[in-house]
A and B are shown apart, each in its own frame.
Chain A
C-alpha cells in the first residue's frame, strides 16, 4: 500500500537524551489525515523526530523531555481533531488500575441488571409453563422436559391452580408461543454476549465457557422451537414435543447471577492495590517564591520544599529539612507505631503525619516514588504465574472441546442404551438430550482458570498491607518450600547502626556527665563509633562543650580538654599509657566484650570516670522472629563479616544456633551454595546492597528496603520495614497461599470430575439420579464464585 511509504524513518540526529514515546492515534483514515498529524507534531515544541503510521494507527515521537511531555504530545495530536491516548505503558499503575476498575465495575453493573431482569423472566417462564406441564398428560404437546422443572411443577401446580385459575384458561398454543417470545428476548438481550462471543471464538478455532453455554442453551432452545412450531415432526417419530423454554431462561439468569458475583469478587481481589492507589494525595503544598502554594502533585519538582501540617498526608517522598513529627507509615510498611522524623530523615509519600509540622525537600517523584514502586511491584507480581498453574493451564486449553466430545458421547450412549432396552425412540431422545445439555452446562473451565491467579492477587495485596512485597507467583511458591533461612547480621539481625548500649560511671560521676564528656571529645573524632556516641548524646538533649587541644591517637583513642578537664577516651592501652588504673573495671570490660560490644575507657584528669560501650544492637524483634522461624521448622543461619566473638554474642542474643563469622561477600555466596548442595532450599535475608550476590544466589532472596529503592533487583521479596518478623510473615503467608491455591485447584478439578459424570447420568443406573440442566447451571455458576471467595479468605488472614 502506498500510504505505508509515508512512515518516516528516524533521522540520525536524535539527541542522546531524547526520549521516545509511541502514542496510539485513532480516527486517521487516509494519508491526508496522517500527514496532518505529522505536520502538527513536527512543529510542536520539543519534538526531535516524529513518525506517524497510518497502518499502525500510531505516532512514534522522539522528544526532548526537558521541553515537552508525552501528555503534552497527546494534547497536540488531539488538537488536530484525531483521538490520542497516553499509551498504557506510560500511564501510571494508578491509572491502569482505575481503568481496570472502571471496566470491571461496568461489567458488574451490566451483569447485575441482566441477571435481575432475566431472573424475573425466568420466574415468569416457570409459572407460565406450569399449565403446559399440567396439560401434557392430556395432550401430546408442550410439556416441560427439564427433570427439575417436572419436580417443581408437581409441587407447585395445586397452589397455582388455586391462586391463578386464569392462567390455566389460556390456550396451550398461546402459552407456548408466549414462552418462545420471552425466551428469544432473554437470549437476545441478556444472553447475547454468550452467543456472540462463542461465535467469535469459534471462528478463531477456540472455545471457551461461552461456547458451552451457547451450545447448551442454543440446542435446548432449537429443540423447543421445533416442538412448538412443528410438533408434528416429533410426534410422527413418537417423540413428545416437550419444551425447555423456562430452562433456557433460568439457566441464563443463573449463569449471569454467578458471573455478576464473580465480577464483584474479582474486583475485591484487587482491593489492596486500589487502597494503595488511593493513598496518593492529589495536591502538595510547596514553597514557591517564599509563598506556600497548593499545586497538583504532578507539578511538584525534585528539590521543592514541601510543607506538611499536622494530620496531613505526606504528598511525595523527601527528606526533612526542618521541624519534627511522628509519621504513621503503617499503610506502606506495616509498622504499627508512628515513626519519629527529624531533620535529615526520609519521609515517604502517602504516609500520614501526626501532630507535628515540618518542611521537607522532595526527592523521588512520580513513577520513581516509593508508593508507585510498591504499586508497580504488586502489579508485576500479580502478572506472574505460579508454576503450580501449569497443570490448570494444560487442562483449560483442552477443556471445552473435550467437554463437547463428552456431551456428544453422552447423547449417543443414552440414546442407544434406552433404545436397546426398549424405550420408544421419543423417550430416548428426550433423556439423551437433557443429559447432553446438562454436561455442557455443568462443565466449568472458569474455576480452574481463576484458582491460582486470584490467590496470587489477594495474597500479594495482603503482603503489601503488611509491608511485604512478594515478586510473583513463583516466589510465593518457593517461599512455601524454604527449609533454611540465612540472615545477614548487620542491618538484618541487628539495627545496622551503632549506638551506646552501656554507660558504667565511676563512683561520684553522673551518667549524663560521662556521656557528655565523651561525646564532646568524640565530636571531633572521625572514628565510626564516635558518630554513634555524639548522636546518642544529642538525642538525650545534652549540650556538648567545645573541645580544646584535641588529639587523636590512632588505634588507642582520643584526648581533649573539656571545660578545663583532660578527658581521655580509648582502650586499655591508652589508659596504661596515661597511668590510669583500670583494674577495677576488668570484669565489666570483659563482660561487654563477650557481649560483642566495643568498650571504651574514659579517664577524667587521669582518674577512671567509667566505661562506655558501643555496639550495633540486635533489633528488639529479632529474637521473637527467629524463635518463630525455628518453631516453623526452619533452620536459621547467620552470616557476618565480623569477628567470631561479635558474631557469637549476637547469635546468642538473637537465639541463632549457627553463626558463620569472618565471611566476605564472596564467601556469603559460597556459603549459600554449600547449603544448597546439602539439598536445602535456602532463603537469604539481607539489605540488598552488600548482599546482592548472595540474595541472587539463594532460592528466595529477601531484601530489606533501604533508602528510596524498593525494588531490589535480585530479591524475590522486598521487606518495607527492617524487621525480621516480615520474613516470618512472608513465609507464613506464602504457605497459606499455597494451601489456598491447592484447595482451589482441587475443588475446581473435582467439581468437573464429579459434576460432568453426574450430569451425564453416571448415577442413573444405580440410583436413578439424573441432573437437570437447571441445577447444572446453578452448580456451574457458583463453582467459580466459590473459588474466588476461597481466595478472598486470604484477605482476613493474620500472620502472627
Chain B
C-alpha cells in the first residue's frame, strides 16, 4: 500500500478543483454593478442594502459630482456595524435596521474601495 492509488489522485484532483473554485468565487467572480440614478439636482443617489455584504457592491458614479449613498443595514451582525471609506476618511456607525446617509464627492475618476470596519466586507465606488 505504499503507492499513490486512484483514490488518492481523485482526492487530490477534487482538492485542487475546490481550492480553485473558492479563489475564483471570492476573488474573481463578476459582481453586479449598479449605476447611480442622477436626480434633477445633479446628485447621484444609490441605496445600498447591508446584509452580510453590500448589495450592490459595485456602484458606478460620475467623478467630481456629489454622491449620496443610503446604507440600509438590515441586520444586527456586528460585522457590518461600521462602514469605512478610507479615501474619504469616513468611518461611520450604521445603526441596525436604519438608513444611514453618507455623502461624498469622488474627486477624480478611479476606483474607491469601501469596506466594513474590519475590512471583511467589500464594495467599490467606481467613478468615471
Contact = CB atoms under 8 A, between A and B. Distances in A.
Interface in B74-116: 75-79, 81, 84, 86, 89-93, 95-96, 98-101, 115
A792 to B, nearest CB: 17
Contacts of B78: 104, 107, 263, 266
A24 B99 contact: yes
A415 interface: yes
A263 B19 CA distance: 33
Interface in A80-108: 85, 87-89, 96, 99-100, 103-104, 106-107
A190 interface: no
A422 B91 contact: no
Interface string B9-30: 0011011101100110111010
B46 to A, nearest CB: 9
B27 A449 contact: no
Interface in B28-82: 29, 31, 37, 39-41, 45, 47, 51-55, 57, 68, 70, 75-79, 81
Q: How large is the interface on A (under 10, 10 to 19, 20 to 34, 35 or more residues)?
A: 35 or more
Interface stretch (A193-201, A594-602, A625-633, A707-715): A193-201
B91 A382 contact: yes
Contacts of A400: 26, 120
A448 B101 CA distance: 28
Given A96-B93, A205-B31, A88 B101 contact: yes
A266 B55 CA distance: 27
A430 to B, nearest CB: 14
A397 interface: yes
Q: Give the one of B93, B96, B117 with max A CB within 10 A.
A: B93
A208 B95 contact: no
Given A204-B54, A412-B16, 16 more contacts: A9-B39, A58-B99, A107-B78, A197-B79, A201-B121, A204-B31, A204-B55, A210-B52, A383-B92, A385-B86, A393-B119, A397-B120, A401-B22, A416-B8, A445-B118, A450-B118
Contact of B119 (A56, A89, A397, A421): A397
A396 B90 CA distance: 19
24 contacts: A7-B39, A9-B40, A22-B68, A24-B99, A56-B70, A104-B78, A107-B76, A201-B52, A201-B121, A205-B31, A206-B122, A392-B119, A401-B25, A408-B15, A409-B15, A412-B16, A415-B8, A419-B1, A419-B5, A420-B8, A421-B2, A425-B7, A448-B118, A449-B119
A420 B121 contact: no
A449 to B, nearest CB: 3
B77 A193 contact: yes
B4 A416 contact: yes
Contact of A449 (B41, B54, B98, B120): B120
B76 A208 contact: no
Contacts of B7: 419, 425
Interface of B: 1-5, 7-8, 11-12, 14-16, 18-19, 22-23, 25-27, 29, 31, 37, 39-41, 45, 47, 51-55, 57, 68, 70, 75-79, 81, 84, 86, 89-93, 95-96, 98-101, 115, 117-122
A206 B120 contact: yes
A491 interface: no
A208 B47 contact: no
Given A7-B39, A383-B89, A99 B95 contact: yes
A453 B117 contact: yes
Which A-B residue pairs are the 6 nearest by beta carbons? A200-B52, A204-B53, A449-B118, A383-B91, A412-B15, A9-B40
A415 B70 contact: no
Contacts of B52: 196-204, 206, 210
B79 A203 contact: no
Contact of A57 (B4, B75, B92, B99): B99
> Which of A206, A384, A419 gathers most chain B CB within 10 Å?
A206
Interface in A445-460: 445-446, 448-450, 453
A644 interface: no
A193 B117 CA distance: 19
B122 to A, nearest CB: 6
A204 to B, nearest CB: 3
A356 B89 CA distance: 45
Nearest to B39: A7
A700 to B, nearest CB: 17
Contact of B93 (A99, A106, A396): A99
A405 B15 CA distance: 9
A398 interface: yes
Contacts of A384: 89, 91
B interface secondary structure, majority: mixed
A263 B41 CA distance: 42
Interface of A: 7, 9-10, 22, 24, 55-58, 85, 87-89, 96, 99-100, 103-104, 106-107, 193, 196-210, 263, 266, 382-385, 392-393, 396-401, 404-405, 408-409, 411-412, 415-416, 419-422, 425, 445-446, 448-450, 453, 472
B94 to A, nearest CB: 8
A445 B22 contact: no
B84 A385 contact: yes
Contact of A416 (B11, B31, B70): B11
A201 B98 CA distance: 20
Contact of B90 (A104, A383, A419): A383
Contact of A408 (B18, B47, B91, B115): B18
A196 B47 CA distance: 22
Contacts of B115: 393, 397
Nearest to B79: A208
A87 B102 CA distance: 11
A450 B79 CA distance: 11
A454 to B, nearest CB: 10
A7 B101 CA distance: 18
Contacts of B120: 206-209, 396-397, 399-400, 445, 449
Contacts of A449: 117-120
A154 B23 CA distance: 41
B38 to A, nearest CB: 12
Contacts of B118: 396, 445-446, 448-450, 453
A200 B79 CA distance: 12
Nearest to A90: B101
Contact of A100 (B79, B95, B121): B95
Contacts of A415: 8, 11
Contacts of B86: 385
Given A383-B90, A420-B2, A445-B118, A412 B12 contact: yes
Contacts of B47: 56-57
B27 A398 contact: yes
A202 B26 CA distance: 8
A385 B79 contact: no
Contacts of A199: 52
A85 B41 CA distance: 23
Nearest to A87: B101
Nearest to B103: A89
B11 A412 contact: yes
Contacts of B23: 401, 405
B51 to A, nearest CB: 5
B93 A409 contact: no
Contacts of A409: 15, 19
B98 A85 contact: yes
A411 B3 contact: no
Contacts of B54: 204
B61 to A, nearest CB: 16
Contacts of B41: 9-10
